[in-house]
Amino acid sequence: MFGFGKKEEVKIASPLDGKIIDITAVNDPVFADKMMGDGFAVVPSDGADTIVAPCDGKIMLVPDTRHAVAIAAGDSGKLELLIHVGLDTATLGGEGFTALVSTGDSVKRGDALIKFDGALLKSKGKDATTMIVITNGDDAVKSMTKNLNEKSSVLTVAVK
C-alpha cells in the first residue's frame, strides 16, 4: 500500500548490437579486474554505431570526450551505470563521437545516447568493445544475475 519493503529490480539490456562478453574478458585490466565495477561488454557488430540506453534512468555525466555516459538507473536512481565506448578512446579527445544527450536528461530504454564512428576508431587502432559497468555495486546491489546470451536483459539487478 505505501511501498514499504518494495523491491526494485533493474533489467539492463545491451546498448548496441554485437557479441556480449563478460567484463572479465575485456582486453583492459581496469575493466577485466572489475576495478570500475562488475558488468558486461559488447564487441560491436559491423556497422553498429549507436549506443542506446540499456534501461530507464537519468544522465549523470557525459564527458567532454563524449566516449562515455553515466546513468542513474531505475526508478530510485540508486544504481549507477557507466557505458564506456571502446578501449583507450578518451585519448581521441571526442573525435569520432557525438553525444545525443546531456547531463540531467531523463532517458527511456532504447533512447539513443552516443553515436560513434567505428571506422575511425579502427583507423586509429582503437578497440570498439563497449563496457557496461555498475560503478556503485557495493552500495547499491543486493544481487545480480548475468545472462550473457540474452540481449534484452543481460543483467538483472536487485537494488538495495
H helix and E strand count, the chain: 3, 13
Q: Which residues contact 51 (CB under 8 A, 6 or more apart)?
A: 15, 16, 69, 83, 85, 112, 113, 114, 115, 116, 130
Q: For the beta carbon of residue 91, count every other beta carbon within 10 angstroms.
A: 10
Q: Which of 84, 86, 114, 118 is catalytic?
A: 84
C-alpha grid cell for residue 79?
Answer: 544504481
Active site residue 67: no
Nearest to 156 by CA among 7, 3, 2: 7
Active site residues: 84
